[in-house]
């Protein structure tokens, strides 16, 4: 088993920035990424996208080029198409590349594997034809694919608006934008506006997106309070309700793209048994970190959205901080030497993240979007409904691990990624306890499935 | 102040089976359990209902296991009727695989001595490779043969636990999940069980808290010298049926996943998994069924067995604190039926099942705690 | 559901031939399997082992495991994580996997 000073998981903004910073301190990091090319989801396919007309994806996208160029440094051992299946508290790193499994050892690890979209459990969300806004954007960036018929976008959050505008710029018609932002949240968010003005650039871009949608005359339905996807073998139509109205509105569509924000992907930090806290403002779990972004597992730091949603620019800043933290932990940099840079990074980070409270409050999904009705599937893999989970709570199940045992909720191939947040919140609600008390799934490797044969090879590696 | 007839400390398989048996018999029973995260052997279980090879040193244990295996069909039927939850119990017989002539001979000798010791009640058949292949067409070439016993079977331990909980509630039991019991003591002829949020009062108390019994038993004049022993288990993606009977360390579940175990590791209270251990489990499974090599592992876990020094169960009534009992073992699935249908009646006042008479703590060669 | 955007310099992108359930599908070099199938009009790529319900790609970023397909004889491959290769045999999946 070879030993490396630094292993970075993920080549999004945080991972790329961490690698570039580490290199300047004489570290040769290994950067592992599941995707075939660097950029993470935000800068995905930047080198190969068929969408060359810059205004379609927007300048924020193309800004990622500088970070990606940095990853080309020969001192960085960048390994695309490589999946992390195991990471132990002794910093043994299990990798899968193609059919080949291997183990390496790290002295320091930076987890920069980013976010995932918050589950959006509505009736019919498992029908083919219902996808996420993130997937729509990935298809656009990576393959130049766009909806072939007028598309319905539903939910809330910056990504949803951005995708709508990117489709408009590419000449793709939007049948409707169903906005689930709660009425009261505009007022609540307004109070946070002064703070948000510190990241005025981001704020104005958001306002610009809304104006662009308005100018294009997109059917923007506000205050949507209920939404269902319907169809037999695939999505055929959707229906929704607005405000307090009991009236259902119907629309035929072959494609519904859902989005209600992004949340940290905590699969790896959970499996490491890092301490996690429930963030009531972001409605998500965060691994607990210190000012150097170090977790409470020795030698493991978390940078970027994997540690709490901060956005692409702040993720890159966190990546630099974590890279400096690694350099100091490995004895390649001293506190004196980095003090000035750290001070500047922290100031930049504060500025970039100043808008988060505003966004978190404005786009906070209302309770009924997070706590579905009894008939709705929560666990897509094992097909467990909200009602069944509530019945389990009635029988004394206090948390997700007991319901997992009793109903298989969270035991399927996605290993609870798609249901975990919903289950924690739903059981907290049903039991009248806090989400923090309710807890989350206890996770174990493999993070991604590995064949018995590959597992056998990995151990040979580990014993060498 | 409500006083239960019984308070059972521990909502795992042992405690739940006893609680279910008592509640079904009409007693007022409370079942105290910890929260969502605890050392839960019952959630990390392999799921065998197993007899062959058990009780080589103490034949009573073989009788006790056979008694439970015999009672299993009625337990699973009544739970299904009462709760609608199927335990997926099946008893197609089970095999223990051998990889050499020598191993076959040793196995045969061991099991033959068990037949003798049980007065012929236990029985088994040795299968050569060809006979085994008729039962398991995918069996690997390197498997020499196996011992087969009709007594063996398997069930889904998670659904068993769910069914016992549901059955307990259906019979009027009170389930009190939430936190760990700190202290058990006697007061005015009944027991007081203290934990964070409350005190529970009961005429009699059964300690079925797994490894937690170490701490609690001494408080009521009992002794439970238990040691954790870790077992790691791997589970694969769902497969079409390919293994229609269980083996000692490989079985296919009702959902189609292949479950493989079982390591025995002395690692204290560490519930983690280790790559070399997982790998050796994988290698052994592939040796048994080579076609499994490209199936995917989707989950792994480690769980702590509740082991006494000799591996046999511990059932005991307190002499110093009449009405207090301790019950623990690491075969909570196999023995579930016996616990519900034979151990529970003893705790309620019936005579002691003769098979379990030897399973008191005195055999560990230490004095039980005497009252101050 | 999806179409290729008409782009100025598509000539730069090579075509790749793959097969889905035996039918020839033209994809582009750099497509993931899931993207290629969506571009070819495939909506559902599997049925679930639990209820037999049809499923198609959902998240496109390796999280949801809905886009599982059989690739060159290997079942349960995440279609959104693997790039197409010429001649690749992709098959839809029905229920639990078979051995082999």
CATH of the domain at C88: 3.10.20.440
In a domain? residue B370: no
Inter-chain contact C96–B296, Cβ cutoff 8 Å? no
Which residue in A396, A442, A446 is closest to B37 by CB distance? A442
Poorest-pLDDT segment among A133-137, A316-320, B305-309: B305-309
In a domain? residue B265: yes
Strand order in the sheet with B227-238: A450-451, B296-307, B227-238, B257-260, B250-252
Identify residues of A whose CB sits under 8 angstroms from chain B CBs: 86, 88-89, 92, 94, 103, 395-402, 405-406, 408, 411, 413, 415, 437-439, 442, 444-446, 449-453, 455-456, 458-459, 462-463
Give the closest residue to B10 by CA, choosing from B224, B270, B190.
B224
Same domain? B231 vs B300: yes
Chains with ≥3 Cβ pairs under 8 A against C?
A, B
Inter-chain contact C99–B239, Cβ cutoff 8 Å? yes
Q: How many helices (H) and strands (E) does chain B have?
A: 9, 17
Q: Please give the Cα distance from B185 to B259 (Å, whole number).
A: 42
Which residue in C3, C36, C59 is closest to A146 by CB distance? C3
What is the number of other CB atoms lying within 10 angstroms of the CB of residue C99?
16
Tokens of C19: 């097969």
Q: Please give the Cα distance from A53 to C9 (Å, whole number).
A: 10
pLDDT at A200: 85
In a domain? residue B337: yes
Q: Do residues B95 and B356 lie in contact, with contact meaning Cβ atoms separated by under 8 Å?
A: no
Q: Do residues A333 and A292 lie in contact, with contact meaning Cβ atoms separated by under 8 Å?
A: no
Distance from CA of C4 to the nearest CA of A (A): 5
* pLDDT tens figures, B168-190: 999 999 999 988 999 999 998 89
pLDDT at C100: 57
Same domain? B213 vs B354: yes
Distance from CA of C25 to the nearest CA of A (A): 15
Inter-chain contact C63–A380, Cβ cutoff 8 Å? no
Q: Which of B307, B339, B355 is the last residue of a domain?
A: B307
Which residue in C31, C43, C65 is closest to A413 by CB distance? C65
C-alpha torsion angle, residues B53, B55, B56, B57 (rounded to 10): 160
CATH number where B16 lies: 3.50.50.60
**Ramachandran angles phi, psi of B271, nearest 5°:** -95, 10
What is the number of other CB atoms lying within 10 angstroms of the CB of residue A203?
17
* Contacts B239 to C, Cβ<8 Å: 96-99
Tokens of A5: 């000073």
Chains with ≥3 Cβ pairs under 8 A against B?
A, C
pLDDT at C12: 64
Question: Count of domains in chain B?
Answer: 2
Cα→Cα distances C56→A129, A130, A132, B268, C79, Å: 7, 9, 12, 45, 10
Inter-chain contact C49–B256, Cβ cutoff 8 Å? yes
Q: Which of B307, B324, B348 is the last residue of a domain?
A: B307
In a domain? residue C24: yes
Same domain? B191 vs B314: yes
* pLDDT tens figures, B205-249: 999 999 999 999 999 999 999 999 999 999 999 999 999 999 999
Query: Which sign, positive or negative, has the C-alpha torsion B99, B101, B105, B111?
Result: positive
In a domain? residue B75: no
Counting one residue from A and one from B, how many pairs have CB atoms under 8 Å apart? 112
Per the confidence metrics, is the pTM higher than 0.90?
A: yes
**C76 reaches B (C-beta below 8 A):** yes
Which residue in C1, C13, C64 is closest to A147 by CB distance? C1
In a domain? residue B339: yes
Inter-chain contact A399–B273, Cβ cutoff 8 Å? no
What would the mean pLDDT of A218-242 be, rounded to a whole number?
A: 97
* pLDDT tens figures, B122-178: 999 999 999 999 999 999 999 999 999 999 999 999 999 999 999 999 999 999 998
Same domain? B26 vs B117: no
In a domain? residue C98: no
**Confidence at B371, pLDDT banded by 50, 70, 90:** very low
Q: What percent of chain A lies above the pLDDT cut of 70?
A: 99
Distance from CA of A179 to the nearest CA of C (A): 20
**Confidence at B372, pLDDT banded by 50, 70, 90:** very low
Q: Which of C66, C68, C78 is most worth mutating to test chain A (most A CB atoms within 10 A of its CB)?
A: C66
Q: Do residues B159 and B86 lie in contact, with contact meaning Cβ atoms separated by under 8 Å?
A: yes
Name residues whose C-beta falls within 8 Å of residue B108's C-beta, 6 or more positions apart in sequence.
Answer: B126, B147
Strand order in the sheet with C15-20: C23-28, C15-20, C89-91, C68-71, C74-78
CATH number where B121 lies: 3.30.9.10
Q: Please give the Cα distance from B329 to A449 (Å, whole number).
A: 33
Domains detected in chain A: 3-116+263-333 (3.50.50.60), 119-260 (3.50.50.60), 371-433 (1.10.10.1100)
**Confidence at A335, pLDDT banded by 50, 70, 90:** confident
Same domain? B272 vs B241: yes
ipTM for the predicted complex comes to: 0.96
Radius of gyration of chain A (CA): 22
Same domain? B110 vs B208: no
* pLDDT tens figures, C28-79: 999 999 999 999 999 999 999 999 999 999 999 999 999 999 999 999 999 9
Average model confidence (pLDDT) across chain A: 95
Domain holding B199, by residue range, is 3-67+158-225+310-363
Q: Do residues B46 and B258 lie in contact, with contact meaning Cβ atoms separated by under 8 Å?
A: no
What would the mean pLDDT of A411-436 be, rounded to a whole number?
A: 96
Q: Residue ranges of the alpha helices (H) in chain B?
A: 13-24, 59-83, 101-117, 129-135, 157-170, 213-217, 275-288, 336-338, 344-347
* Contacts B285 to A, Cβ<8 Å: 452
Counting one residue from B and one from C, how many pairs have CB atoms under 8 Å apart? 28
In a domain? residue C5: no
Tokens of A352: 């970039």
Distance from CA of B138 to the nearest CA of C (A): 10
Inter-chain contact B291–C100, Cβ cutoff 8 Å? yes
Same domain? B62 vs B125: no
**Confidence at B316, pLDDT banded by 50, 70, 90:** very high
Inter-chain contact B240–C96, Cβ cutoff 8 Å? yes
Inter-chain contact A139–C60, Cβ cutoff 8 Å? yes
* Contacts A417 to C, Cβ<8 Å: 63-64
Res. B368: pLDDT tops 70: no
pLDDT at B271: 85
**B294 reaches C (C-beta below 8 A):** yes
Bigger pLDDT: B272 or A113? A113
Same domain? B235 vs B214: no
Distance from CA of C91 to the nearest CA of A (A): 17
Q: Which of C12, C45, C62 is most worth mutating to test chain A (most A CB atoms within 10 A of its CB)?
A: C62
* pLDDT tens figures, A5-35: 999 999 999 999 999 999 999 999 999 999 9
Inter-chain contact C54–A128, Cβ cutoff 8 Å? yes
**Confidence at B40, pLDDT banded by 50, 70, 90:** confident
Cα→Cα distances B286→A456, B142, B291, Å: 9, 11, 7
pLDDT at A415: 93
pLDDT at A464: 65
In a domain? residue B15: yes
In a domain? residue C9: no
Inter-chain contact C97–B138, Cβ cutoff 8 Å? no
- Which residue of chain C has the CA closest to A125? C58
Inter-chain contact C60–A135, Cβ cutoff 8 Å? yes
In a domain? residue B164: yes
Inter-chain contact B37–A462, Cβ cutoff 8 Å? no
Tokens of B89: 């119990």
Question: Count of domains in chain C?
Answer: 1
Same domain? B162 vs B302: no
In a domain? residue C8: no
Q: Do residues B243 and B257 lie in contact, with contact meaning Cβ atoms separated by under 8 Å?
A: no
In a domain? residue C62: yes
What would the mean pLDDT of B68-87 be, rounded to a whole number?
A: 98
Domain holding C51, by residue range, is 16-93
What would the mean pLDDT of A448-460 be, rounded to a whole number?
A: 86
Inter-chain contact B295–C49, Cβ cutoff 8 Å? no
What would the mean pLDDT of B42-53 be, rounded to a whole number?
A: 93
């Amino acid at each position: 088993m070879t030993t490396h000073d630094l292993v970075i998981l993920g080549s999004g903004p945080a991972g790329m920035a961490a690698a570039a910073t580490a290199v300047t301190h004489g570290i040769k990091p290994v950067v592992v990424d599941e995707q075939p090319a660097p950029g993470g989801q935000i800068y995905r396919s930047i080198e190969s996208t068929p969408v060359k007309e810059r205004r379609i994806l927007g300048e924020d996208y193309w800004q990622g080029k500088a970070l990606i160029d940095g990853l080309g440094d020969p001192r960085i051992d960048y390994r695309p198409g490589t999946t992390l299946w195991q990471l132990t508290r002794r910093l043994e790193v299990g990798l899968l590349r193609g059919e080949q499994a291997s183990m390496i050892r790290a002295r320091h690890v930076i987890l920069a594997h980013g976010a995932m979209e918050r589950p959006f459990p509505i009736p019919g969300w498992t029908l083919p034809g219902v996808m996420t806004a993130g997937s729509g954007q990935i298809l656009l960036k990576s393959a130049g694919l766009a909806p072939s018929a007028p598309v319905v976008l539903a939910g809330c959050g910056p990504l949803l608006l951005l995708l709508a505008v990117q489709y408009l710029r590419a000449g793709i018609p939007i049948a409707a934008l169903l906005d689930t932002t709660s009425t009261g949240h505009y007022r609540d968010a307004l109070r946070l506006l002064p703070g948000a003005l510190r990241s005025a650039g981001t704020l104005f871009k958001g306002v610009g997106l809304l104006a662009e949608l308005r100018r294009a005359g997109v059917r923007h339905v506000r205050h949507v309070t209920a939404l269902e996807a319907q169809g037999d073998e695939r999505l055929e139509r959707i229906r929704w309700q607005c405000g307090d109205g009991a009236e259902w509105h119907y629309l035929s569509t072959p494609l519904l793209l859902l989005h209600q924000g992004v949340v940290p992907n905590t699969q790896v930090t959970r499996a490491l048994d890092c301490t996690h806290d429930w963030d009531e403002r972001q409605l998500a779990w965060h691994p607990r970190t210190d000012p150097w972004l170090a977790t409470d597992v020795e030698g493991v730091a978390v940078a970027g959205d994997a540690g709490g949603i901060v956005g692409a620019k702040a993720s890159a800043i966190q990546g630099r901080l974590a890279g400096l933290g690694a350099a100091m932990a490995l004895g390649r940099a001293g506190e004196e030497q980095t003090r000035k840079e750290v001070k500047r990074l922290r100031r930049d980070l504060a500025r970039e993240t100043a808008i988060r409270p505003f966004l978190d409050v404005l786009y906070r999904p209302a309770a009924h979007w997070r706590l579905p009705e009894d008939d709705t599937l929560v666990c897509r893999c094992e097909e467990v409904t909200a009602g069944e989970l509530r019945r389990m709570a009635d029988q004394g199940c206090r948390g997700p691990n007991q319901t997992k045992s009793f109903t298989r909720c969270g035991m399927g191939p996605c290993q609870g990624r798609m249901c975990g947040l919903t289950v924690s919140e739903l059981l907290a609600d049903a039991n009248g306890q806090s989400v923090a008390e309710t807890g989350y799934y206890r996770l174990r490797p493999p993070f991604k499935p590995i064949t018995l044969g590959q597992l056998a090879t990995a151990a040979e590696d580990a014993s060498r | 102040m409500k006083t239960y007839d019984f308070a059972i400390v521990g909502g795992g398989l042992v405690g739940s089976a006893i609680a279910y048996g008592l509640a079904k018999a009409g007693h007022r029973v409370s079942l105290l359990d910890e929260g969502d995260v605890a050392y839960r052997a019952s959630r990390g279980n392999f799921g065998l209902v197993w007899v062959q090879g058990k009780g080589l040193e103490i034949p009573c244990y073989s009788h006790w296991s056979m008694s439970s295996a015999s009672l299993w069909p009625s337990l699973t039927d009544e739970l299904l009727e009462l709760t609608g939850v199927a335990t997926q119990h099946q008893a197609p017989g089970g095999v223990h695989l051998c990889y050499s002539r020598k191993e076959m001979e040793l196995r045969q000798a061991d099991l033959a001595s068990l037949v003798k010791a049980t007065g012929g009640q236990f029985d088994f058949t040795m299968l050569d490779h060809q006979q085994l292949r008729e039962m398991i067409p995918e069996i690997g070439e390197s498997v020499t043969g196996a011992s087969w016993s009709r007594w063996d079977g398997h069930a889904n331990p998670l659904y068993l636990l769910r069914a016992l909980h549901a059955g307990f509630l259906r019979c009027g039991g009170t389930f009190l999940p939430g936190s760990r019991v700190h202290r058990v003591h006697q007061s005015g002829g009944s027991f007081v069980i203290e934990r964070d949020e409350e005190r529970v009062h009961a005429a009699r108390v059964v300690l079925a808290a797994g490894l937690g019994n170490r701490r609690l038993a001494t408080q009521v004049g009992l002794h439970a010298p238990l040691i954790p022993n870790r077992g790691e288990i791997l589970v694969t993606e769902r497969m079409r049926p390919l293994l229609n009977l269980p083996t000692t360390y490989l079985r296919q579940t009702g959902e189609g996943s292949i479950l493989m175990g079982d390591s025995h590791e002395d690692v204290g209270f560490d519930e983690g998994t280790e790559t070399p251990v997982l790998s050796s489990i994988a290698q052994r499974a592939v040796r048994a069924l080579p076609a499994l090599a490209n199936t995917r592992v989707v989950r792994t876990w480690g769980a702590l067995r509740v082991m006494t020094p000799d591996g046999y169960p511990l059932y005991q009534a307190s002499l110093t604190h009449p009405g207090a009992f301790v019950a623990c073992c690491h075969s909570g699935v196999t023995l579930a039926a016996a616990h519900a249908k034979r151990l529970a009646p003893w705790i309620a006042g019936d005579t002691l099942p003769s098979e379990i008479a030897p399973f008191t703590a005195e055999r560990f060669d230490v004095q039980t705690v005497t009252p101050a | 559901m999806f179409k290729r955007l008409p782009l100025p310099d598509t000539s730069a992108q090579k075509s790749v031939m793959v097969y889905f359930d035996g039918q020839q599908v033209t994809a582009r070099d750099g497509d993931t399997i899931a993207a290629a199938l969506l571009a070819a009009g495939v909506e559902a790529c599997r049925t679930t082992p639990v209820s037999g319900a049809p499923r198609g790609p959902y998240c496109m970023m390796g999280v949801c495991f809905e886009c599982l397909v059989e690739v060159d004889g290997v079942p349960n491959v995440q279609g959104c994580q693997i790039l197409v290769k010429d001649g690749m045999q992709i098959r839809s999946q029905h229920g639990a996997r078979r051995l082999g």
